[in-house]
Amino acid sequence: MAGERSASGRRRNRHLTFAMAFVLPDEYEELRASVRRLADDGIAPNAAEADELEQYPWKSWEAWRDGGFAGLAFPEAFGGQGAGLLAHAIAVEEVARACGSSSLFTFISKLGMTPVIRHGSAELQARYVPRVASGECQASYCLSEVGAGSDVASMQARAVRDGDHYILNGRKFWITNAGVSDFYTVFAKTDPAAGHRGISVFVVEKTFPGFSIGKLERKMGMRGSPTGEVMLDDCVVPAANLIGDEGAGFAYAMGALDESRPIVGAQALGIAQAALELATQYVQERRQFDQRIADFQGVQFMLADMAVQVDAARALVYRACALIDEGRGGTARASSTAKLFAGDTAMRVTTDCVQLLGGAGYTRDFPAERFMRDAKVTQIYEGTNQVQRVVIAKRLLGGD
């Protein structure tokens, strides 16, 4: 056993070293090529329609699931591939390059199940995680409320124990996959007087009495991924669906977000990569003043800056994922750094892409404007980029 642990440790160290050096082992590049083929053939053709009609891209989801990727990031013990966070990030990046909306279904179910995987009872894990890992079901993560976005401790949702059940009341807002998911990981206060120490978390099925979906938002971007209100009106939840301990929900939530923030960074990275590729192609084809606009130094400098930002974002995202895969402690700063820089990069690069395409970039004849709209939310969800700066500063001043 000691030899096995040592070999595993050497393998993780090898992956960490390569990731930090920005040269990945062959298996990661093989995964990238496989996901890119699937994304180009089975996801990209549906992207514009999903955005235009504001409809969930079921064909894209089915391509992802049928391609065997639904369980990529889930542990092997639950029927997944146990690929690790770096592999998951590469897959998310490639899908986001094809369709920002579709990239959300590549990681939201894992986020929803992360508290169950880490803290749930064996019974709870067995009941829900394999069904999500197989792609049979999908899951959502229900933390935010109107008055509790960045300030999670201000949530108003309540859970009251009643014999063998909890009764949940409240509203959850900005929930990704609302109405599509089968299972919802819901955070609510079991002890309102205890602040963030009074938050608990439950698995709620869409069929439970008192559960319903409210308003679906009309959004600037990611329009093919539903975002909406989850309504809990005397919702009856079995006590066995409590995840872990009462009052530990805040810690569970923050732990899950530390792991998901680099994945949002990967999503932003994929969108930025798509914008860079589009701009590079366009400036070589577009002619003005009897020459390609790619021949103008000002255009070349813009492309160079875009490329440098994308490369830097990729290095930070991969580094954060590799550190988490390695099992290093104190990864919150690396996670926030990756999410912050990649989100800001996506916004800059997609804006510059629109600029380089000029009037064409402002129309829906090209996906540049969709890239720009999709990129914006990567600066907002999973903790705004202002919150990421707070996290980074706190860790920096605390010596982490």
**Helix (H, G, I), strand (E, B), or coil: what is residue 208?**
coil
The residue whose two tokens read 């590079």 is: 280
> What are the beta bridge partners of residue 165?
162, 238
Q: Which residue do the tokens 């609302």 mark?
A: 178
Taking the mean position of all CA atoms in its chain, how far away is CA 212?
24
Neighbouring residues of 335: CB distance < 8 A, sequence distance ≥ 6: 258, 259, 261, 262, 320, 324
Q: Determine contact, residues 156/170, Cβ cutoff 8 Å.
A: yes
CA angle 178, 332, 4 (to 5 degrees): 100
Three-class SS of residue 233? strand
Task: Out of 93, 94, 369, 382, pick the active-site residue.
Answer: 382
205 is catalytic: no
Cα 396 to Cα 197, 244, 393: the distances in Å are 25, 31, 5
The answer to whether residues 135 and 109 touch, using CB atoms and an 8 Å cutoff, is: no
- Which residues are known catalytic residues? 382
